[in-house]
Amino acid sequence: MELADYLTHARWFGGKGRSFRVTGTHTLGVVPSGEPGGVVPLVVIAVVDFDDQEGGRDLYQVPLAQYAERQPALDHALVATLGDEHDRRYLYDAVHDREAMACWLRSFASGATAGPFTFHRLPGHDLDLDTHSTLFSGEQSNSSVAFGEDSLLKVFRRVTPGVNPDIEIHDRLTRAGSEHVAALYGWVEADASALPDDLVGAEGGVLQLGFLQQFLRTASDGWDLAQASVRNLFAEGDLHAEEVGGDFAGESARLGEAVSEVHTSLHAELGDHQWDSAQVASTMQTRLDAAARVVPELAAHREALSRTFDRFAMLGSLTVQRVHGDLHLGQTLRTVKGWKIVDFEGEPAKPLAERSRPDSPWRDVAGMLRSFDYAAQIVERTMGADNPASAHQLAFRATEWVERNSDAFLEAYAGRPLTDDEQTLLDGYLADKAVYETVYEARNRPTWLDIPLKAITRLTGGEAGQAPG
C-alpha cells in the first residue's frame, strides 16, 4: 500500500519537510460493530523511516474505511485503491467517514473485544449512538472526532507500544473525580503482538490507539481568550490592565487554582519521587550547551544562565511527580464550569518513557508563565506592525499584562508568596523552557527568536557575559 503521498499532505504527519519512506504496513484487524455489506473499518500501522541526518523510525496509525465501491464524498480522504476491475477496494481515512466512525462508537458502547482490539469502557455515562461524527479541523498531531455534543474521540496518529500518558492520566483523574479534565469514557487498544517483534521493542504489551471522552460543549480555547484580553488592553490607550473590561487576571487566578488541584490529585493518585537537583541542573546545563551551538545569540547569556542553574543545583533533594509536562494556554479550555486541562500526552516526538517520567510541578508552572508572555508578545508584534509609532507603548503594556496575569496565576497556584527555594526552582525551569524556545524559534520561526531571548534577559536581570571569541 502506497501511503507516502497521503502522509505528506496529512495535517497530523510530523515528518513534513523531511526525507522519508513508508517501509512497511501492518493491518491490525477490523474494528467490530460493522453492518453486513457496509463499510469495513480497518486499522493499519504504517512504518515510516527517515533518510535525513536525524534519521529514526515512527509508527503511524491510519484508520481506514474500506468500500467495494467508490465514495465520491470521500475523495478528499482517499488513501489508496487496491485490486483490479474484478475486485476493486477503495480505502479512505476513516476519521472522515461517518459510517466507519459509527462502528468505533458502537464498539465503545458495548465494550467490544474482537481480534487484537479491546474497547475499554468506564461506567457512568450512556453514549448517544444516534448522533453522527464530525472531524475537527486544524493543525493537530492527532485526529479529534466529535459525536454530536455527547462525546469526543481522540485518535492517536504517531503511536508507540506501551501505555499512553494521555489515557493513563485521564483515567486516574476521572476516577478521582477531578473537575478539571474532560471525563474519560473509554479507550481502545490492540495487542502489540499483532506487530512484528522488531517494532514492538521492550515496551511490548499494548498499542493504545485512542480514547473517548466528554465533549466540552461550552469550551473556549485559553490561548484565544488570553490574546483577546491583550487586544482589549491595547485598544484602551489610557487604561491599565486592571481597568479594562477584558482583564484576564481573574481567569489567570482560576487557572492557577485548577492547575494546583490537578497537581494535588496526581500526587494523591500516583505518589512522588525524589531527584537530586544537581543532576537536574546538569541536564539543563547540557541542554543550554547544545542550544548555544544552534543559537549563536545565546552566547552572551550563557554565564548568567549557568549561574541560574548553579543556584538550582544547590537545592538538594527535589520532589517530583506526574505532571502535565507540556502545559501552556493552548492546553486549556474555559467552560461554564471552570477551566479544563487537556492533552496529557506530552510532546509526541519524545520517546514514550520520557513522556511518562515524573517531573517537578514547577515545570508546568513555568510553561504556563512562558505562555502568558507569548500571548502578549504575539499580539504586540501584530498590532505594532500596523502602527509602528505605537510600538514603545505596546511593549510597555504587553509587559504590564504579562506581569499582572503571571502574578495572579502564581498567587492562586501557591496560595501564598513563594519561598526562596520555590523561586529558585521556578527560575531554573523558566530558564530551561526559554532556552528550548530559542532553538525552536531559530529552526521554525526565526523572526520570533527575540521573544525567548528577551525573556532570558529579564530572567537573568539583564546580565550578559562577554561572548566567547
Percent of the chain with pLDDT strictly greater than 90 = 78
Q: Which grid coordinates are listed for 125?
A: 455515562
pLDDT score recorded for residue 466: 37
Whether pLDDT at 254 is above 90: yes
Say if 252 falls within a structural domain: yes
CA–CA separation, 159 and 316 (whole Å) = 37
Tell me: do 226 and 175 sit in the same domain.
no
Give me the chain's average pLDDT, please: 92
Tell me: do 243 and 377 sit in the same domain.
yes
Q: Please give the C-alpha separations between residue 466 and each of 291, 297, 404, 449, in angstroms, as whole numbers.
A: 17, 11, 33, 20
Say if 117 falls within a structural domain: yes
Tell me: do 27 and 85 sit in the same domain.
yes
Tell me: do 194 and 209 sit in the same domain.
yes
Question: Which of 159, 181, 214 is where one domain is finished?
Answer: 214
Say if 466 falls within a structural domain: no
Structural domain span for residue 118: 4-214
pTM here is: 0.90
Tell me: do 324 and 405 sit in the same domain.
yes
Tell me: do 297 and 405 sit in the same domain.
yes
| pLDDT per position as a tens digit, 271-319 | 999 999 999 999 999 999 999 999 999 999 999 999 999 999 999 999 9
Is-contact 405 398, C-beta < 8 A? no
| pLDDT per position as a tens digit, 392-415 | 788 888 999 999 999 999 999 999
Tell me: do 67 and 95 sit in the same domain.
yes
pLDDT score recorded for residue 274: 97
CA–CA separation, 312 and 300 (whole Å) = 20
Looking at this protein, which amino acid is placed at residue 76? H
| pLDDT per position as a tens digit, 14-54 | 888 889 999 999 999 999 988 888 999 999 999 999 998 88
Which residues of 38-135 form beta strands (DSSP E)? 40-50, 57-67, 78-82, 89-93, 113-114, 117-121, 133-135
Tell me: do 266 and 357 sit in the same domain.
yes
Say if 182 falls within a structural domain: yes
Tell me: do 210 and 225 sit in the same domain.
no
Say if 133 falls within a structural domain: yes
Question: Which of 214, 248, 281 is where one domain is finished?
Answer: 214
Question: Which of 161, 182, 214 is where one domain is finished?
Answer: 214
Say if 468 falls within a structural domain: no
| pLDDT per position as a tens digit, 429-457 | 999 999 999 999 999 899 999 999 999 99
Tell me: do 232 and 151 sit in the same domain.
no
Total structural domains in the chain?
A: 2
Say if 465 falls within a structural domain: no
Say if 469 falls within a structural domain: no
Tell me: do 66 and 193 sit in the same domain.
yes
Q: Which grid coordinates are listed for 347?
A: 510532546
The CATH number of the domain holding residue 393 is 3.90.1200.10
Tell me: do 204 and 284 sit in the same domain.
no
